[in-house]
Structures are given as structure tokens and as C-alpha cells.
Structure 1
Amino acid sequence: MKALFIGGTGTISTAITALAPQCDIELYLINRGNKMDLVPEGVKVIQADINNEADIKDKLKNMTFDVVAQFIAFDTDALERDFRLFEGKTKQYIFISSASAYQKPLASPYITESTPLSNPYWEYSRKKIACEEYLMKQYRENGFPVTIVRPSHTYGDFSVPLAIHGKNGSYSVIDRIRNGKKVIIHGDGSSLWTLTHNTDFAKAFVGLMGNVHAIGDTVHITSDESLTWNQIYEIIGSALGVKPNIVHIPSETLAKADPELSGGLLGDKTHTVIFDNTKIKRLVPGFQATVRFDQGIRKTLAYILSHEELQSPDPEFDTWTDRMIQLYEEYEAKLSEI
């Protein structure tokens, strides 16, 4: 099988890029070349900017693929370009969408691929919905061989999956936990969430590649493990050898304090979600997510704490967190006086 990944070195795609060559897949990446250390031996890199359509068209002019996978598109303009580039040049085009596109607020926490798509809280999710609609239109009207994949919260070596963190990523929260500083969990921390290790995601994804039964279809890939946010932070703390000092603050309050949190909280992580993975298991017989969160997060933390380039301080986020906690605790204290 001959495959082309647009991207290939991100949180999700790194694990797939590592696994694909082990499955006799001849793999090419369109990549700017910024993370060449993450590209396994034998994977061929077409160093280019996918947004330079003329250059890409020239570099691919004599090439066809069994699979093209798009990991980095976030709007329909990118997909219109891909349709121009790859119509007639691939037997399957796989688009990475998002499980955040599922209906919010949820009518039921049990999610299947037929759960409606609607997210008034998060523009990112609405753009993914628009991308899905565009691609399915191309499938119906032009026979473009689309497969849509919806990941939920997938993590790997480079970042700890959290509900709330700053612009510099997860390290600031890790550092707060291991130093006994207070950290914020939205709501009361009892809503259920699903975290999937990227190596588990990769196994299912590779099983979809070249899979005729997946053409014209949509499927999500997640673990079957459900954890509360309190459990997630307790597990992170346990892996660091400490008990996290947690402060619960309502999601709506956090979103008002920082509107940029609104999409990720009110449009996603606030809600209990339990994924039904029957479909991916039917399409990829034998697939099972096998990395429990307590296992995967130890590997993630070990990697981060041994790579200084991933240990980015975030003083702006730390200041915001401390101030947010102070104000909320003062508010709670005043409530007790009523």
C-alpha cells in the first residue's frame, strides 16, 4: 500500500507514522520539515507547504496513492484545495475531524456515529462539521472516496491531557501539581471523560487504511475507558508521586473569566461522554484500545520530564490561575456568611 500523510508529526499522526511502515505501507509525508527527528527511517518526506498548491501539484504530478490522509485541515478552503489536488489520484481520502462536533448540549451521554452534529459553543467544532459536510457532498456527487475519522481527546508523549492549561501547553500544570500548588478542575470534577493513547488510535487508523468498507463512512476512534476529571487529575498526581491540590470552579464561571475557554469547556469537556466503539471494532476486527490512562500517562510524564524543550514555563497562566482561585475562594467565603 502506498500512502501520503499531510502532516504526520503531530500528537495523533506521530504514532500512525511510526506504525504504518511496520504494516508494509510505503509512506510519504507532506511536511515543512520542522520535526524530522520524529520521522522514522524509510518514511519519505516531501518537504513543502501544503498551502502552496502550485508547488504541491508539481511535486506530486506523477504520483498516485492508495490512501491520502489529511491531519491538519481545519476549514473547507483546505479541503477544496485537497479535492483539486487528489481527485483521481487516490483510492481513499481520510479526513481527521473531531468528536467535539457531536451535539452540545448532549441529548444522551452515549455517543454513536449517528449522534447529531451541532456545537454552538465552539467555532473549531463548527468548522469541522462544515468540513465533513463538504466532503460527503463530494462523495455523493463526484465519488470522491472519503473516510471521516473523529478522534476524541488523544494524547501521546508530548503533552499531558488536561481540561485547562495555558498557551504554552501542559507543563505549567504538571509543575503546579508536583510542587503542591492549587490547580483548577471545572465543575465538581464528576463528569466522565475519555482519553485515548495515540498508539491505540494508530492501530485502528491503520486498519481503516485501504479498507473498502470505510469508504463513504464516518467513524470515531476512542478508548473504552471512562474516567471522571477528578480521577484523571488524581492519576496524574499519583504518577508524579503527589496528591493534587484541586480547586473546583464552575465551567460557566471559568468561561466568563476567560472567554477563550468557552469552546473547550462548554463545547466539549464539561459534558459527560461515553463512546460506543462498536463501529470501529466492526470495521477493524480485533481492534481494542489496550493502554489504560494510568499506564499511558506515566510514559508521557517520563518523556516530558526528560526533554527540556517540552518544559515551557507559563507565568501568564500561573498568574491567572492563582488570581482565579483567590477570587473564587473569597466568593465562596462570602457565601458562607449569608
Structure 2
Amino acid sequence: MTGIRYLASLWIVVITLSGFVFCSEVSFVERLEGESVLVPCHMEPRGSLRPFGLYLRRTWLRPTEVFFKYTQNDASVNESFRDRVTVSGDPSDRAVNVTISQLRAADTDHYICEFMVERVGSVDEKIQGSTETFLYVTADVPGSMDIDPIPTCAGGSAVLPCHTPNREGSAVEGVILSRQRGRAPVQVAYHSQQHLSSLFPTERVQLSSAPRPGGITFHVTLLQLQPEDSGLYSCQLLLRGRPNSSTSLRGQVFFISVQDDRCGCSSYPTLIYALTGAVGVLLLLLILVGCVVVFKGKASQRPKSQSQAPIYEEMIGVQSPSRKLATLRLEEVESSEYKNCPVKKASSGNRYESPSGALFPRRDS
């Protein structure tokens, strides 16, 4: 029972940690100027905690508060979003939908929701919502660029594949990585032949290649990313004898979003795997301990072999040495008594009658 209690205690720890390790769901949304977007704000239940307020913040290009809504009251909206924000739902219900209409290119940013929870005797707690939205507003037709989101944490890394067509089979001399932040002009983030003009130092960039059926695939790995590195990226191969243009994003475009220190997504799978492994090891140990305890219990209850000897001896008619010794002693005593004293047979008559014999002749009445 003690082992089962230990196992139950460990499962409680696993469930508790799983409940408090938070990892937001990231969604990438691309919209045209003038359209609208729905930003959902949801908070996972935590016991009886009910938030009393909600913040919607943009945290990338222009960090600021979009609005604050106190429960059962209207939202206080930032001037740049006035008359463009519609809020449905109440923060106390842990679910609020925010609609931003008449979108502009300047609205491109990373949006997060923060619920305010009252803490008695301490500062009110801010709990980030379970969803995050990366909004990209463009004047071009959505889908004109193949954009793939790559969310990561501060200090993390991102791998960008370079799939620029090389039908002529020209020699590859390097790669060039371009970046765009919001509506700003495209910049050269990394140039393998011009290290001095790159935005990323050489020690933060790794180049690798791998063969594939159609040729060779090149990958660019960006290391030690920070929130200010967030933006749109595209990768091009530097081919011998062909001009290279870095004034626009070409081919496949990646939206790298680097979250701040509150991001815990990268450590969440590792923690789960570690806890699962610990539970498995503990369960195996408990099974082994249980087997040992059961084996010892059965061994202690097993009768001793020496106590069975007299039973087997009686069954086959053989006396034990102790009984043989007692029998020999008894025979010696009886034989000595028989030798020293005559044996008299008890009469079958009345014990109270007078003895008869030569000294006492029997008289007839």
C-alpha cells in the first residue's frame, strides 16, 4: 500500500505541473487592408478564479494597449483603434471575442490577451490567454506569398529551408536571407559572402545542406533569436553567373515570431517527457519491490522441513533417534525392575477380601 501511495502522490504532482505549465496556441492571420479580423481571448479555468478585467495588447512592432475592459463595463479603447474595435462577452466568463475592422497596414503586429485576476493581500495577477494572434495586413491579394509561421521563444532558434529553383544546375556559392518588419523596406539579414553587411553575426547563423531527389537542399538556422528579430523572412540561393536581388521577399516566406521570456512552449514537451519517464521508472521500481515483498512473505509462511521428519518416520514405521533413545531407556528400567522384584499377577477377585495362602488358610463359612 505504501508504494501505491507514492505512485498516487507522483501522479498528483504530474497533474499539478501539467495544469500550471502554460503554452499558448499561436495562429497566423493574413488580411487585406479594409477587412476585419476576429481575435479570440480565452482563459483556461483555474479553480474558482474569475478575472475582473481584460487587456488586449500588441507586443511586436508597436507595443501598446489596444483596450482594457472591466467586467460588466464598456471597453476603454486606444485612440488608434477607436470606432474599429467591437468586444463581445465578459472577462468574468473567461471568454471574449474581439473584432478589429477597417484594418490598416499599420495594424500588422502580434496580439495577446491578458486577464486580470484579483489576489487578496497581494498584487493582482495577469494571466495570458490560451491563444495568440499574429496579424499581417497587406495591400496585395492574400495568398500572393506562401507565408508559414515559425513561433519560437527568446533565445531559441529557427530553421529556414532554401528551395530556390536551380533548374540550370548552376553552382551554389552561398545563400542570402532577407527580412521585412511590418511595412518597412526589405533588408538583407544575412549574406554568406558579405558578412559585414548582415544583420545577423556569423556566430548566430549556421548553414547546412542535404541531398534530395531533385538536387541539394540548403538550410539556414538562426540562433539566439530575440523579440526584435521577429519579422518576415525569405531565403535565396546565390548561384554562379546569375544576378541576385534582395529588394523583395521571394519564394517561400516565413513569419518568425519571437516571444519574450514568458514563453514556456519549448520546455513543455521536455517536461512532460521527463515526468512520464519518472512515472514509468517509479512504477517499475514499485513492481519489483512488490514482487520481493510477496516472495519474502511466502518464504516466511513456508513450514520448516525439520518438523516434517517425525510425520514421515511414523508413516514408514521408523522412529526418530530421540524416540529410540527414550524407548531404550524405558526398556532398561523395566528390565531392571523385573530382575530385582518378582512379578505378581493381580487377582481378579475382590481387592478387599482377606488374602489366603499358607499363612492365612482359607476358612469355609
| TM-score after normalising by structure 2 | 0.20
Query: Higher helix proportion, which one?
Result: 1
Bigger CA radius of gyration: 2
Q: Which has the higher contact order (CA 8 A, sep 6+)?
A: 1
| TM-score after normalising by structure 1 | 0.22
